[in-house]
Structure 1
């Protein structure tokens, strides 16, 4: 049987395929290539270009590839974009997750891993944030994902599906071997900063707000390396195969870095200061998002390998150089 990875040509999905391949697992990638690129996925993994909302295409994939488990990454993930286009987010993240779950039920799939987000917590009352914190999304992105979590919970109860939902924090960095990374227009701090530091974007880095109630006034995020995140999903798969009960877990390092601290990490890695300018706060941005990760460490025995902001920055920089070389632009 094979593992279906939806969004397999995307940033996190491609790293998941690498983790499965490295573990000797049979996997199949599905992606509509709206934001991903097929070259990101390992070339020896079967690839299907299709939308996760296409029930007929899903039925064919499940049948032709003997799919036994699903790891679901396909969806839209940009908070600011979700505020401008909320209906697209409820369609892509919630309605299409329902379609995927219907296909799973029809095919008899019993194990499902859902890629969720810390955005479901909104502005937390306490930091670090535990899994028992109230769900109070402040963006359509967070709301669409919390709705999908509930739909999965109800579908699993009705159809004897075991699942793990991973709420991850700020994913960053790239495969240390240079096999995958983030592509496209930067929507997160570290990718944007890497492009500016390398001269691929001729502008100053924007800091969206320096008046938060944090030690240095800038927002604090729990940055987790994408390869560690993929390993967490692999550990979740192992739990489900061992007849583990369904569970929802945070995935983060349990400590955060402010925007200024990330900029300082770039100075350490590159040896040069990164120019920046202050911009207004963005809607939907809490002051702090830091995971309480005690549960995932205990339940999945998750042991991150790359918990170092300088290493995360270095791998992001290395990836941007690789992409620039691939595209024939200045590195």
Structure 2
């Protein structure tokens, strides 16, 4: 799998192992950490844009499918770095698909994103909702979906499925934590560990408590569903082209802050800042299709999402 040394990818690797499968990790370590790859798992340090290296990894290890998690995932930064974003996410995905063809590998699970929807015009996003990405990141993920669909039409026996997910949080093992400098959970946790006060951007949204509402999904559930999708493709089970891995309800930023205070034991009152440009009031997805076809479920409470994230970060030691 690509990106297997990252926060999400490393969880997928462990889920593959738990299901008795043999993962092979390919990662350039631009954001992943080698220590996240479990001992005994084959690891190839390479860039996904190096098609020859990806082909060799697939061939040398006898791979039968790809879970493609590697990518540049920061929507806000992508506005300043559009060419870098496209190189990593569009050219990189094309490279992986070319390597798969060269190696005779015909099945791919693609990590897509809720960013393909942009600002939704409905309260609950479904697989049929309009795709109107509002950042180079969202555009690049949608093009990745198109590439896979085009290859599926052109290449006999080729199958792929795209998993669109939202805010991934928590940890299923203290060995792996979210080290992103852009995601809400690590931003709050790092602030608390450093003695700083976390910040809320905007408290005047048309939501129950005035703060943004988002889908927060636990990385353990997400990883298990990647594996379920891979198993379904290998078994020849018909799947939709894409699935939303959402909660159907969502949580507000204020709810997350309150839970952080409760779990950490650090009582704080968040600083209030202005809204960030482009932040929709609410983005929540219907995960019922993924539940029906892939066994998707939300098996962690908000408190468990926060407590597992806190535990994994604390176990990693000083930043």
Question: TM-score, normalized by length of structure 1?
Answer: 0.92
Within 1, Cα distance between the matches of 2:276 and 2:226?
Answer: 30
Aligned-pair RMSD on alpha carbons? 1.4
Within 2, Cα distance between the matches of 1:292 and 1:30?
Answer: 32
Partner residue, 1:92: 88
Within 2, Cα distance between the matches of 1:13 and 1:27?
Answer: 11
Deviation readout 1:211-232 (Å, 9 max, x if unpaired): 2222222111110000000011
Q: How many residue pairs get matched?
A: 317
Aligned partner (choices 27, 37, 41) of residue 41 of structure 1: 37
Partner residue, 1:169: 166
Shift of 1:210: 1.9
Shift of 1:318: 0.4
Shift of 1:119: 0.9
Deviation readout 1:118-150 (Å, 9 max, x if unpaired): 111111011211010000111111111011111
Aligned partner (choices 114, 122, 126) of residue 126 of structure 1: 122
Contact 1:122–1:142 under 8 Å retained in 2: yes
Within 2, Cα distance between the matches of 1:47 and 1:257?
Answer: 36
Deviation readout 1:259-292 (Å, 9 max, x if unpaired): 1010111122133323422223333422211110
The within-5 A match list for 1:246-325 is: 246-247=239-240, 248-306=242-300, 308-324=301-317
Provide closer, same or farther for how the CA distance between residues 284 and 91 of structure 1 changes in structure 2, counting only shifts above 3 A. farther
The within-5 A match list for 1:49-128 is: 49-128=45-124
Provide closer, same or farther for how the CA distance between residues 221 and 98 of structure 1 changes in structure 2, counting only shifts above 3 A. same
SS in 1 for 2:25: strand
TM superposition outliers: structure 1 runs of 4+ over 4 Å: none
Within 2, Cα distance between the matches of 1:84 and 1:278?
Answer: 26
Within 2, Cα distance between the matches of 1:253 and 1:263?
Answer: 19
Contact 2:191–2:197 under 8 Å retained in 1: yes
Contact 1:79–1:284 under 8 Å retained in 2: no
Contact 1:80–1:282 under 8 Å retained in 2: no
Would you say 1:220 and 2:217 are equivalent positions?
Answer: no
Contact 1:162–1:246 under 8 Å retained in 2: no
Question: TM-score, normalized by length of structure 2?
Answer: 0.95
The within-5 A match list for 1:181-196 is: 181-183=177-179, 185-196=180-191
Partner residue, 1:28: 24
Within 1, Cα distance between the matches of 2:63 and 2:278?
Answer: 37
Unaligned runs of 5+ in 1: none
Contact 1:220–1:287 under 8 Å retained in 2: yes
Unaligned runs of 5+ in 2: none
Within 1, Cα distance between the matches of 2:85 and 2:277?
Answer: 16
Within 1, Cα distance between the matches of 2:214 and 2:288?
Answer: 17
Shift of 1:246: 4.3
SS in 2 for 1:68: coil
Aligned partner (choices 201, 207, 216) of residue 200 of structure 2: 207
SS in 2 for 1:21: helix
Within 1, Cα distance between the matches of 2:166 and 2:118?
Answer: 12
- Pick which of 262-271 and 114-123 moved more: 262-271
Contact 2:116–2:141 under 8 Å retained in 1: yes
Within 2, Cα distance between the matches of 1:274 and 1:51?
Answer: 42
